[in-house]
Structure 1
Amino acid sequence: MTFHGLKINISINLAMLLGIAMILIDFVMTMSVQKILLESEISKGNLLLSAIETHLINSSESSKNNITNLTPSSDSGTNFNVHLTHLSDESGCSCAMVLDINKNQIYFHGTDCMLQDKLQAMTSETIGSGKQITESSGTMWGVFRTQRRYLIQAKPLLRKGNIVGGTGVVLPLEGIYVALRRVQQILFIYILINTFVLTLMGVRRLSRIIVKPLHRLLKRAEDYRDDADFFFTGEKGENEFSQLSKALNRMLKRISADKEKLQLTVRSLEKANADLKQAQKEIVRAEKLASVGRLSSGIAHEIGNPIAIVTGYLELLRRDDVADDEKDEFISRVEAEISRINTIIRQLLDFSRSSDGEPKTVSVHELIDDITNILNFQPLMSDIDVELSLSAEEDTIIADPERLRQVFLNLAINAADAISSLKDCSEGKLIISSEMASEGENTDHRPMLKLMFTDNGCGISEENLGNIFDPFYTTKDPGKGTGLGLSVSFMIIESLGGKIRAVSELGKGTRMEIYLPVI
């Protein structure tokens, strides 16, 4: 935000605050004045009622009536009515009424008085109760909200301490609100002018004590260089901005002092991270070489038979008594055995070859087929029936195919070792199956391929099940495992965004489950 925009925001906020303050003051003042004016109207009504009472009592006494008679004499009646009408008009009341002790109306003045019935009821009530009554009636718009339209007052008439009648008046309150609204217009104009003037003065003052110092601080910040001796210069005086400048100077000096240490730490962490990645690659390669070693020993035994067959046929070909058609047959059989040896060695070389580590689109089912072909030549799988049940609709993922092949081979070799450890095992079985993970199993809310390597081997005890993915943890005999196979497999699957877990029961076999995100 520019400092011009800051000034505009300060101006708007100041104007809003001042306007709200002025409006609140105006509201309080208006309500206070309205209360005073209402009290004044009540006092005026009381005076009018007292005046009516005084003239009425004096008039009845001058006519020498008895103590309960309020009716003036015929001579003074006309003057009495004229006098009460004059009092009512001068006071501005809408209507006035006088009732005798029997609640008969002896005087009424008013035009278009809509509250005559209510006035008569209140005057009758005050005769019966002997107490003055003040009420309000009707509604009209005041200044800020609707207010009462009329003020109704009634009081008993007393002569020598006895109630001889009652009188009541209705005073309109509209004049109060009209006057308040006129004053309100003047106040609004004053508030606008006052807010504008005070806002300009406040912006000018705030600009001098806040905006300008901030502008200087910003300029220093923009001009700051790493080799600068200082960043902020102290403001004049010992105000908050001067203290802020000094604090920022101290902070930047500490940052500059720690910057070189931070750079050294970052370089050290980068080197440690590179070393860690290299160590990780070495661990994966070491486990792969261990698997290749086990496969090589099996392949060496597997290719011994074809070599013996080839040697035998070569001996036969040296003999002179062998017919030409037999020699052709021997040569064809030799070629078939050599082709078989070539296939076995090529599969081993393909597996042992180092990968470039670049992820690519691969078919999991095709990788499993390749692993099955490699295992077919292994003596450790000779008594094990490998069954494939690859029913997943989607099997394409993004991964390094060589690393994924290493995981599958590790799981298959582990299953073979578990099956061969059972001395009374008559028939071993390894089932490799695939399916799409269900919603309950898939916590990542994306399509996941579920692979299962299920064997009927010795199983894993519950106490060992939680440690099988730890590095160098193994239950195999010395020389049969490094303890890195499952640890490396766990690392590879996790790097692909998947997960691996084991479900096993001692003596009943093991099921390794792998979840991989499909494309």
Structure 2
Amino acid sequence: MFKRGTLTLRILLILVMALVIMATLMGTGYVLLRDAQYTLMEEKQVKLFAFAKLLDISLDRTYNQILEEKGLQNASREEKIRALNEELKEVTDFVAHSEPGIGVGYYSKELDAIITYGPSEELGHNVGQPIAATHQGREVMRTGEEIIQTADLVRGEIMNCMHPIIRNGETIGYIWSNELVEDINIQMNQLQFRFRLTIFLGVVLAFVGAALIADSVVSRVNMIKHGLRQIQDDLDYRFPALPGEVGEIGEAINEMAAALGERRRLMVQMQRADRLAALGEIAAGVAHEIRNPLTSIKGFVQLIEEELSAEDPRLEYTQIVIREVDRMNRIINELLYYARPSESEKISGSINRIIEDTLFLINIKTINPKVQVHTQLNSELPNLCIDVEQIKQVFMNLLINSIQAIEKSGEINLETSLTPDGKLVRIAIRDTGKGIKPENLKKLFDPFFTTRDKGTGLGLAVVQKIVEMHRGYVEVESQPGQGTTFTVFLPISGGERINEGFKKEDFSSG
């Protein structure tokens, strides 16, 4: 026990600081752990449903159509199951082998049997079995809606994501994609261990840090408390330069605030990447498979064109085919770029020259002759260390977006300038189009979000990704019926300050 008078301010400061930091770490750690566990389960479900939907797309016919092609529509139940298994086993095995640990398969409502269960070398013995009467798969086939079930099923204790197979308005079966609960629990336990270890280390560091700084801050405790309160409310607050040990503490706290701000930015990026990781990989694989037949289609159509006379009305149809193939190739290129962006090749480049080249390439008059383009380019801008082709893609996507926003006639204004502090180049693209609804502004840069029937939702996502790779940022201002302004900010350093990083708040946007 402490004797009267021995509980000094130094000891009190150490105890209070250590306990506050420990409580904060434990509380924050608990919240983050719950969020991480929820995110992990959500990611698992998204991934499993993505595989199920991929299998749905791969089944381009009904079960009966497959049997009719094989002349087995009147065969026995066992023969039908065997024929369907031979037809579809390769697909489910391919998907199952692409993600070790998962199980996938098809179920037939009419035959009331498992058609395939991949990987077949481990789970193929279940083919032909019906599911139990209480199995949620029957509810999927009854309602035509997706269901997630965690239970002891055919494979064991699993998390099972089930997707109905609907053809011509009728549910003919369902597809499942599952993972063993044991495997999920292992990942959960690993996650908990890392969080607990981090909290423990944080507690240890809290006591050590409190002991080290207590002696030097006793006489200036009010100043430190004020600064800490400011940082708690605003991570952009910085301690002013102070002499002696208090100044060193102020600098250390400033560095901590900067690190937390950077960590927050990185966490947002990681969360966005995690949500789309599985979908991006699958989409990229599908895109590669689509590109080859598209090339063949375009080549054969061009050969057909050579055989047609200039007056042949069929030329109109061949041109439509070629345009649509080119459009699909552009979509594939955007999809591949977003899923697996190429490495940057940065050189010294002029922003004004890139804008002029982009305007020449797009040739807005041929797209919409009623759109007027006005440029106001600052001739005194310095060259930037940038990937010219990537930045050209940024301006091309933004200009095409502006053109499509103008339904009849209108104007597009391009302006380049320096921010007042001279640290950033500012490129503003304004249009007089229909504008953007307020509820869509926050989702504007989300991959696959689009408000157009033929849009891919990747154009602006690619823009943001390229600009962030150059350590810049994009702002958007819009009101319905009053047009839209996209403003790109690029650092004069050309994105070479990778370790220090830029934040939007570090600069004045002008």
Using structure 1 for the length normalisation, give the TM-score.
0.32
What TM-score, normalized by structure 2, do the two folds share?
0.33
Larger radius of gyration: 1
